[in-house]
Amino acid sequence: MALSLDPPPKSRNKVVVAAIAAILLVVFGSYYAFGRSDGLDTTKVCVLPPVVEPYPDFRSSEYFFSDEFINRTLHVFPEAIRVPTVSYDDMDLDPSKDERFHVFAKLHALFRKEFPLLSKHSETVNKYALLYTIPGTDKSLQPALLMSHQDVVPVNSDTIGQWDHDPFGGVYDGEWIYGRGSVDTKNSMIAQLEALENLLEQGWKPKRTVLYSLGFDEEIGGPRGAKHVADLLLSRYGNDSISFVLDEGSMVEEMYGGHFAMPSVAEKGRIDFRCVLDVPGGHSSMPPDHTGIGIIADLVASVENDPFKSTLRKDSALVSQYECIGVHAKHMDKSLRKTLLNLGNKRNLQKLQQLIEEDPIKWATLSTTTAVDRISGGSKINQLPEEVVLEIDHRVSTDSSVHHVKEHMIRHARAIAQKYDLGCVIDDERVSSGKYGILNITSFSTLEPAPISPYGDDVDVWNILAGVNRYIYEGWHGVESIATLPEVIVGNTDTCHFWPLSRQIYRYIPILESETRNLHTVNEKIKLTAHLTAVAWYYEFILHTTR
Amino acid sequence: MSFLEDEPDLPQPKKRSSRLELICMCLLFVVVFGLALLLIPKPPKDIKTNFCPIAPPIEQKGNFSHPSVFQQPEYVQRSAKLLGGAVRVPTMSFDDMDLEPLNEPRFKVFKKLHKYLEREFPLSREFGKLEYINTYGMLYTFTGTNESLKPVVLMSHQDVVPVEPSTVDEWEHGPFSGYFDGTYLHGRGSCDSKNTLLAILEATESLLEQDWRPERTLLLAFGFDEEISGRRGAQELAQTIIDRYGPRSVEVIVDEGFGMIEQWGSTIGTFTVAEKGMLDVKIELTTAGGHSSMPPRHTAIGIMAELIRTMEGNPFAPGFEDANPVLGFYRCAAEHAPSMSKELRRIILDVDAGDNRQRLIKLIESRPEMKYMIQTSQAIDVVRGGVKINALPELVELFVNHRIAIEGSSASVIDRIESFCTEIARKHDISVESLGESLVEGSRGLFNITTLSVVEPAPISPSSGSVWNLLAGTSRFIFEDVFPNMRRHKGPVIVAPSVFPANTDTRHYWPLTRAIYRFSPVLLEDMVNFHTVNERLRFRSHISSVAWFYTFILNTTL
């Protein structure tokens, strides 16, 4: 099989245009052939890719469901959970200056002990990030990059009593493995380590260079871990030098009686604002008509009452996701299915838009969101507040930009400043003058929406990913069929540091969401079967993409 | 605090420029005016009213030296030393002090003040049978010879507001210097209110030196936590007096207050006969949290913002009924102050004619410092919500401070907040609970309204009758005859009722009498930088205070 996973070079524009034309022809052809009522030809759109074939010269992935392997991984995985590699918001940007990072060295020692062959290929980056490089035999192939992260979110001390088992105890109760990081994401980290170690044990020599990166501050933005690894890879391999990137991300979901693997091909951007209003104080027996808190409340209300609005586009990842769900759903309301199978029709697209708008979780995947998350002002109940601080978090839609959201903020801030005679400064730029007080706004956590990674049956790595999904889930998990569709995630993973390295970036964990519980909260846990499935999945995926 | 310092512009009818309109207006005017002439009697040109009769001045009773003795330079020096010594004891009260004074080491410094006062005023201590109530409250009882006469109570407080440590350097003479520069006495407490505390003791001490034996019992009650609610001091002192003499047992109470102001060509003595009420309300909103990347259209902060916008967008309506002392104040000024404009005078004295009452209200509302004398204020002073920029807020807390107009009540303020919360809760499917009672059922969160501290508006003290005339007459005597040069304006001192937007310690004394007056015998402008950096008192106002209390004590206890 002559397989090129690499994205087509840009000089192939004509081919792309031709391909698009061909697809359009097929789509429109089928549209006319089957008529309005039947909609999409479900035998041609969102077709399941072939199930990948196992390699006979390697151990079958059945091994990962054997008692022998279970015994091994039930030792390693919980042991990794027991190392409390917590990252905190206020950690120093220099890891050697923050002793709370020391504990990561314990995890590295565990890896050296449990994954000796893989460890021969490791290097540390910026003290605690790990980069494994297994050189490929064919230097003409661009390297593949797998990613995960070592850190976990903190355990809230107020809720520690609500845990059924110690959050860092790594307890296995016969079905579930408990602990902080069991779902996010020591499971994917250990599964990838197990898969790679197992391949090396079998004398595996990949054709394509395999890179494996483990950050240590993903939960707090990744500036110490992933950022440094990305810089190193850029200097080592150059721009656009990585074939594809697979990081943790969305999972396999069960909907309408079907199974849907949803790798994320896009991530929303982000821009946060801190608004600080300073106004004269005074005794509260003679208040002005609007205290500083009242003015800020007016800003909040005007921002919230002018929400961002994105319109669903026919050629978007979300539309193809909904189309696929329509095609592969087992039990779906007829009229909904009809809508999803006829999204070429404007009215149906509008109907879907409406459905999305009604659900904040779905809406967040489509549109820029506004979340007013923090407010604090005043210090005493009988004194007028002199300073009020407001923090707003925006997640920027893939069809928008940081600039657009900032313009929106400037518009509202200026209107409020003029209404109350305030001087207004946004990121050191004066947007309004006034005498009563000062509204000072600064933006932070700024990140453009991620470039959209290619997906669909004309993308080789996508086909392998979807084929491995079928092999594992239909072959080992008793699932009747599993479709793979593109997802947009509203948060960010460490991949935001890797955009210059690859255009094919996917965020996906090959586990059933229903086999996990309580990500980031009390009693985070994962089923052993989910973990085993993940090991098997990574094993096959690595083999098929790097052989 | 300041009253209308200069006369504001009255609202004028809009000028029109169009000629046609002008002609129409003229025609209309002729017709309407003609009709009006036929239908209603022409109002008198100059209104004669008698809302605010001027009481005659009252000299001091008995065979005692004339109060002008306090103006002698030797006494001024001695008095400045006395007040300076008291200012030098830093008796600060802090918001976070323990309710049990024995558990609060920061009250220990008050003992120093006690020793000082006992030493400097030995006759008062002895004849006044000084007692300490709740450890630091001071109660002097000068028992009268005629037990059938109701006692007089004079009040002040020992504590002062704290000095902000960051501003200590900005003080010209140090916050607790008690320095007398020949004109001003400097330091925290020189205006609020060690001046009246000392003036009262200086008066009793001087009277005792002249063998004063009161017929009517005189009580001096000095609290030690007035600036932080008076629950340890005044409350306990008042309870002791009630236990001893019973409710409604006191003739008159005088506590610190405003002083004399000079306005409209006259000197007006303001006796505060009413205090606004106070209500602190806490409004909590709890909603489901979650990750901030998938927010609802309105977070809890957004919903709270909508409530705030509704509250501030619908301010309280002003109250200005006939019994309102603010109207009484204006009537006194309008009847007696020489340089008030005719038009303003006419509006005030004929307040029921046409839209005069509304015009007067508009006028008062246009003055920020006057507005809240007649209107319940709401100050949204503290807000807290959310903990992290990437987590949806689960709890937002809002603290609102109200000063309730004398026509209002805490119940009416709560009703209003409940109705706003209900309106917003219905829109967002949120429950409302107020003072433990469920008002609205919703599924997406809960507004919880609770009150933190409640003081109803004070009962209004009478501004006529014998006690009033005694206050007025004493004030006229002191400021017209004894200190004629303190004021710029001549003519009789006008004594007028007023409203206080905050509370003094007197709020604990309501059961004892209706005749409660807050008044400091000072020129208001002599109190400089009240509660802030470089607080100082022009000392002539301290001397006038000593003289006033001296005379008032004689006039009420003999």
Per-residue pLDDT reduced to its tens digit, B488-521: 988 999 999 999 888 899 999 999 999 999 999 9
Contact A377 B382 (CB under 8 A): yes
Q: Let me know if B177 is exposed, middle or buried by CB neighbors in 10 A (0-12, 13-18, 19+).
A: middle
Identify which of A268, A293, A395 has the shortest CB distance to residue B383.
A293
For range A36-56, the mean pLDDT: 78
Does A218 qualify as catalytic in the annotation?
yes
Whether the ω angle into residue A398 lies within 30 degrees of 0, i.e. cis, is no
Region A370-380 average pLDDT: 94
Selection from A310, A201, A271, A205 nearest residue A441 by Cα: A271
Q: How far apart are CA A51 and CA B318, in angstroms?
A: 79
Check whether A39 has a pLDDT greater than 90.
no
Per-residue model confidence (pLDDT) at position A492: 87
Label residue A187 by pLDDT band (50, 70, 90): very high
Strands B252-263, B516-523: parallel, antiparallel or unpaired by DSSP?
parallel
- pLDDT for res A545: 97
Chain B residues with beta carbon closer than 8 angstroms to that of A297: 304-306, 308-309, 312, 380
Confidence of residue A425 (pLDDT cuts 50, 70, 90): very high
Type of residue numbered A268:
K
* pLDDT number for residue A5: 62
pLDDT at A19 over 70: no
pLDDT the model gives residue B417: 98
Q: What percent of chain B clears pLDDT 70, i.e. is strictly above it?
A: 92
**Is B192 a residue whose pLDDT tops 70?**
yes
For the ranges A37-41, B22-26, B169-173, B536-540, the lowest mean pLDDT is seen at: B22-26
Mean pLDDT of B526-544: 94
Burial of A477 (0-12, 13-18, 19+ CB in 10 A): buried
How confident is the model over A311-370, as pLDDT tens digits?
Answer: 999 999 999 999 999 999 999 999 999 999 999 999 999 999 999 999 988 999 999 999
**CB atoms A298 and B501 under 8 Å:** no
Interface list for A 501-520 with B (CB within 8 A): 520
Report the pLDDT value the prediction gives residue A40, as an integer from 0 to 100. 67
Q: Is residue B251 within 8 Å of residue B216, measured between CB atoms? A: yes
Predicted confidence (pLDDT) per residue in A64-120, tens digit: 999 999 999 999 999 999 999 999 989 999 999 999 999 999 999 999 999 999 999
Q: What is the 3-state secondary structure (H, E, C) of B79-122?
A: HHHHHHHHHCCCCECCCCCCCCHHHCHHHCCHHHHHHHHHHHCH
Q: Which residue of A has its CA nearest to B502?
A: A285
Please state which of the ranges A149-158, A221-230, B192-201 shows the lowest mean pLDDT.
A149-158
3-state SS assignment for residue B258 = strand
Confidence band for B45, pLDDT divided at 50, 70 and 90:
low
Alpha carbon distance A364, A374 (integer Å): 20
Query: What is the average pLDDT across B81-85?
Result: 98
The mean pLDDT of B49-69, rounded to a whole number, is: 94
- Judged against a pLDDT cut of 60, whether residue B160 lies above it is answered with yes
Sign of the alpha-carbon dihedral angle for B383, B388, B393, B395:
negative
DSSP B230: S
- Mean pLDDT, range B523-542, rounded to an integer: 93
**pLDDT surpasses 80 at A198:** yes
Residue B24, token pair as written in the block:
């129409």
Neighbour tally for B397: CB within 10 Å: 17
* Residue B473 Cα distances to A374, B224, B363, B465, B522, angstroms: 59, 31, 31, 12, 16
Q: How many CB pairs under 8 A join A and B?
A: 161
> Nearest-CA neighbor of B216 among B144, B155, B305, B115?
B144
Q: Do A385 and B381 touch (CB under 8 A)?
A: yes
| Residue A176 amino acid letter | W
B309 vs A contacts (CB less than 8 Å): 294, 297-298, 301
Read off the pLDDT band of B212 (50, 70, 90): very high
Query: Beta strand B152-157 with B218-223: parallel, antiparallel or unpaired?
Result: parallel
Is pLDDT larger for residue B1 or for residue B342? B342
The CB density around residue A29, as the number of other CB atoms within 10 Å, is 12
Kindly report the backbone phi and psi dihedral angles of residue B120, in degrees, each rounded to the nearest multiple of 5, phi listed first. Answer: -80, -20
Tell me the chain A residues in contact with residue B308 when contact means C-beta distances shorter than 8 Å: 293-294, 297
A13 vs B367, residue with greater confidence: B367
Token pair belonging to B1: 């605090």
Nearest to A218 by CA among A244, A248, A245, A191: A248
Q: Report A:94-153 residues touching B (Cβ under 8 A).
A: none
Two structure tokens written together for B552: 């008032």
Return the structure tokens found at A383. 């004194």
In the predicted model, what is the mean pLDDT of residues B164-175?
91
> How many residues are listed for chain A in this entry?
547
- For the whole prediction, is pTM greater than 0.95? no
Average pLDDT over residues B40-58: 75
In angstroms, the CA B116 to CA B200 distance is 15
Residue-wise pLDDT tens digits, B296-333: 999 999 999 999 999 999 999 998 888 899 999 999 99
> Which tokens hold the place of A242?
């990585």
Q: Among A142-151, A284-293, A525-534, which stretch is predicted with the lowest mean pLDDT?
A: A284-293
C-alpha to C-alpha distance for A439 and B106, rounded to whole angstroms: 39
Q: How far is B390 from chain A (nearest CA, A)?
A: 7
**Cα separation values, B324 from A182, B188, B274, B385, Å:** 70, 34, 9, 40
Residue ranges of alpha helices (H) inside B246-385 are 300-313, 325-336, 342-349, 356-365, 368-371
Token pair for A280: 């004269």
Tell me which residue of A528, A268, A300, A250 sits closest to A409, measured CA to CA: A300
| Mutation site, B394, B401, B451, interface A, largest A CB count within 10 A | B401
- Mean pLDDT on A374-395: 94
Q: How confident is the model at residue A158 (pLDDT cuts 50, 70, 90)?
A: confident
| C-beta atoms of B293 and A491 within 8 A | yes
Query: Which pLDDT value is given to residue A510?
Result: 97
- The per-residue pLDDT for B508 is 97
Q: Which residue has the tokens 């391999």?
A: A237
Q: B431: helix, coil or strand?
A: strand
A373/B393 Cβ within 8 A: yes
The fraction of chain A above a pLDDT of 70, given in percent, is 92
pLDDT at residue A180 in the model: 96
Decide if A281 touches B, using CB distance below 8 A: no
CB B423 within 8 A of CB B329: no
Whether B84 shows a pLDDT value over 50: the answer reads: yes
Please, which residues 179-218 of chain A have a Cβ atom closer than 8 Å to chain B?
none
Verify whether the Cβ–Cβ distance A385 to B299 is below 8 Å.
no
Average pLDDT, chain B: 91
Nearest partner of B462 among B183, B167, B318, B252, judged by Cα: B252
Instruction: Give the residue with greater pLDDT, A173 vs A157.
Output: A173
Which residues partner with A215 through β-bridges? A149
Distance, in Å, from the CA atom of B534 to the CA atom of A499, rounded to the nearest integer, reads 62
**Interface probe with A: pick from B3, B390, B453, B530, most Cβ of A within 10 Å:** B390
**A289·B280 Cβ contact <8 A:** no
Looking from the CA of B480 toward its CB, the CA atoms found within 13 Å total 21
Residues 6+ apart with CB under 8 A from B118: B125, B130
Whole-angstrom Cα distance, residue B520 to residue A322?
78
Look up B159 and say whether it is catalytic: yes
- To the nearest whole angstrom, how far is the Cα of B306 from the nearest Cα of chain A? 6
Q: Is ipTM > 0.85 here?
A: no
User: What phi, psi does A245 have (nearest 5°)?
Assistant: -125, 130
Q: Which of B282, B383, B406, B424 should one mutate to test binding to chain A, selecting the residue with the greatest count of A CBs within 10 A?
A: B383
Q: Give mean pLDDT, residues B444-464.
A: 96
Q: Name chain B contacts of A377, Cβ cutoff 8 Å.
A: 382-383
Structure-token match 């042991």, residue found: A79
Contact A301 B302 (CB under 8 A): yes
Q: Residue range A166-189: average pLDDT?
A: 97
Beta carbons of B372 and A297 less than 8 Å apart: no
Angle at A201 between CA A199 and CA A204, to 5 degrees: 45
Residue where the block lists tokens 């034996």: B213
Pairwise CB contact (< 8 Å): A298 & B305: yes
